[in-house]
Amino acid sequence: MSQRVAILLSGGGSNMVKLAESMVGDHPARPVLVLSNDPAAGGLERAREMGIPTAAVDHRPFRGDRAAFEAALSAPLEAARPDIVCLAGFMRVLTEGFTRRWQGRMLNIHPSLLPKYRGLNTHARAIEAGDAEAGCSVHEVTAELDDGPLLGQARVPVRPDDTPATLAARVLAQEHILYPAVLRRFAAGDRTPVLLP
Ligand code: GRF
């Protein structure tokens, strides 16, 4: 029986597309929902084009009442009966209650070599620090932001002429390889970290 995967996003959904495209053939998982906090998120249209059920709960009417927003978000999420939840560019901070509900079954991709650079502006911070390497990490989601057991990491060189945008593009290309590789292993019950290259 395939593992049911829900993907949460806030933006264009390039990671969602790569995850969904990977779940074919003998892959142990299938996408069952793409869910966003932004009804206008480009990733929702891309999911619809791929025939994946979608839902959106606009976070703005909840004006900072995270618990109320998450209760509304949980309705379509619970209805999809996911075995695994993938955060893929989901830009809302989740409460401990939500992360506990999905603990051990919720993954996130973060554009840095965790534990370095939790939070935002990761590429600018790596360039500013003069790092020789940057990259992305997939981890299990816990109550601590961008924390949790590491499930995969991909490294890229930082080039002297890099801007945050050029570095982000190089990292994103690796995200598109790393996240599907981690999901396939995770859905098969294997939590051995995927390390690239
Ligand atoms: C990626 O850079 C990811 O690391 C970060 O948000 C971005 C998502 O991009 N969390 P997309 O919506 O998957 O294209």
CA–centroid distance, 113 to ligand 1, in Å, is 15
Q: Is the CB of 42 under 6 A from ligand 1?
A: no
Q: Is the CB of 175 under 6 A from ligand 1?
A: yes
- Average pLDDT, stretch 50-74? 96
CA–centroid distance, 97 to ligand 1, in Å, is 24
Active site residues: 110
Q: Is the CB of 172 under 6 A from ligand 1?
A: yes
When computed from its CA atoms, the radius of gyration of the chain, rounded to whole angstroms, is: 16
Q: Alpha-carbon distance 16 to 9, whole Å?
A: 8
Which letter does DSSP use for residue 25 in this model?
Answer: T
CA–centroid distance, 167 to ligand 1, in Å, is 13
- Average pLDDT, stretch 54-71? 95
Q: What is the pLDDT of residues 18-54, one digit of tens each?
A: 999 999 999 999 999 999 999 999 999 999 999 999 9
Q: Is the CB of 82 under 6 A from ligand 1?
A: no
Q: What is the pLDDT of residues 144-167, one digit of tens each?
A: 888 999 999 999 999 999 999 999
Q: Which residue has its alpha carbon closest to ligand 1 atom 8?
A: 89
Q: Which residue has its alpha carbon closest to ligand 1 atom 6?
A: 89
| 134 has pLDDT over 90 | yes
CA–centroid distance, 120 to ligand 1, in Å, is 12
Would you kindly state where each structural domain of the chain is located, as residue ranges?
3-190
- pTM of the entire structure? 0.96
Confidence of residue 171 (pLDDT cuts 50, 70, 90): very high
Q: Is the CB of 122 under 6 A from ligand 1?
A: no
| 17 has pLDDT over 90 | yes
| 3-190 is a CATH 3.40.50.170 domain | yes
Give the position, in ligand 1's atom list, of the atom nearest the Cα of 175.
Answer: 4
Q: What is the pLDDT of residue 64?
A: 82
Q: What is the pLDDT of residues 82-117, one digit of tens each?
A: 999 999 999 999 999 999 999 999 999 999 999 999
**Burial grade of 136 (CB within 10 A; 0-12, 13-18, 19 or more):** buried
Q: What is the pLDDT of residue 105?
A: 98
| 1 has pLDDT over 90 | no
Closest CA to 114 of 93, 89, 92, 144: 144
